[in-house]
Structure 1
Amino acid sequence: MPEDKSRKSKDLDSAFGKDSRLTNFSNIDLVKRTGVSLAGRYCVLVCLKTPPDGQRRVAFLISRRFSLLAVRRNRARRLFREVFRRIHPSLQPVWMLLIPRRRILDAKMQDVLEEVRSLLSRSGLCQAQPELD
């Protein structure tokens, strides 16, 4: 039984491991300059449909302009991380940036998940799927 639990947490970590993050500033700048921007109620999604390395990668741009309180910035970051873990299996290779709007602070995780899925389906990168959990 403990093996199943460790395997599950390992699968979640692989969805947002170091290989799934955009960490280099030049890569983030490339996505910002050449990517397609889609705005929603809770966030802005900027995606580069043809990434140079053919991987699914993400970065969250959450500055102090969003909120001076680290607690609020961290909540937005946690929401985005969980959303990415859930949509990761159905994504095509894409580099994307998620930028929160202040409304996200009052949103539930399910609302943010539905919005990101709808933005991705509008861009043609992900099939709109009902929640499996």
Structure 2
Amino acid sequence: MTIRQGPRRRHQSMFLRVSREIEKVKRHGHRVSTHFFNLLFFRKSDSISQVGIVVGRRFGIAVRRNRAKRIFRELVRETHKDLAPGYALLVFPKRDAIMEPFDDLKTAWLGSLRKQRLLESKPL
């Protein structure tokens, strides 16, 4: 029997879900802070980069937590192809992030990644 992978299975490898790896990034990662999110990143290997999104209960009610996760998952999907390989990243959205336009969040996200050299440089 062959198991077919639906469209949702394609994106699972880009997200960091193993708690042991998340804890490793929390302990050893480098922190970057912006007005909209905190970012921790850790060099792991030459494999595909993965991003975890962490939204705790202090963020607010479940509707807001879920909205923040949806917004940042979409940011990851749009920019994952440009991430430098071999990193584990954790994003901790801030409360103000869900009120901002998506383009402003994307600009802050890309700016933070560029500043930390987490984006691959594209040849012209």
TM-score (structure 2 length as normaliser): 0.84
The number of residues matched between the two structures is: 116
Q: 1:79 deviation in Å?
A: 0.7
Indicate whether 1:65 and 2:58 are aligned.
Answer: yes
Alignment partner, residue 44 of structure 2: 51
Q: 1:53 to 1:128 in 2, by over 3 A?
A: closer
Q: How does 1:1-133 map to 2 (within 5 A)?
A: 10=7, 14=10, 17-48=11-42, 50-52=43-45, 54-67=47-60, 69-93=61-85, 94-126=87-119
Tell me how large the CA RMSD over aligned residues is.
Answer: 2.1
Any conservation in 1 of the 2:84–2:119 contact (CA below 8 Å)?
Answer: yes
SS of corresponding position for 1:96: strand
- Residues 38 and 93 of structure 2 are in contact (CA less than 8 Å); yes or no, is this contact kept in structure 1? yes
Shift of 1:125: 0.8
Equivalent residues of 2:14, 2:80 under 8 A apart:
no
Q: 1:121 & 1:76 partners in 2: Cα distance?
A: 22
Per-residue deviation, residues 38-65 of structure 1 (Å, max 9, x unmatched): 00010011111x2146221111110111
- Please tell me the residue identity of whatever aligns with 2:28: T
Structure 1: give runs of 5+ residues left out of the alignment: 1-8
For 1:127 and 1:52, locate their aligned partners in 2 and report how far apart those are by CA, in whole Å.
15
In structure 2, relative to structure 1, the CA distance for the partners of 1:58 and 1:111 (3 Å cut) is same
Partner SS state of residue 38, structure 1: strand
**Is the Cα–Cα contact under 8 Å of residues 121 and 128 in structure 1 kept in the other structure?**
no
Structure-2 separation of matches of 1:65 and 1:40: 18
Aligned structure 1 segments of 4 or more residues deviating by more than 4 angstroms? none
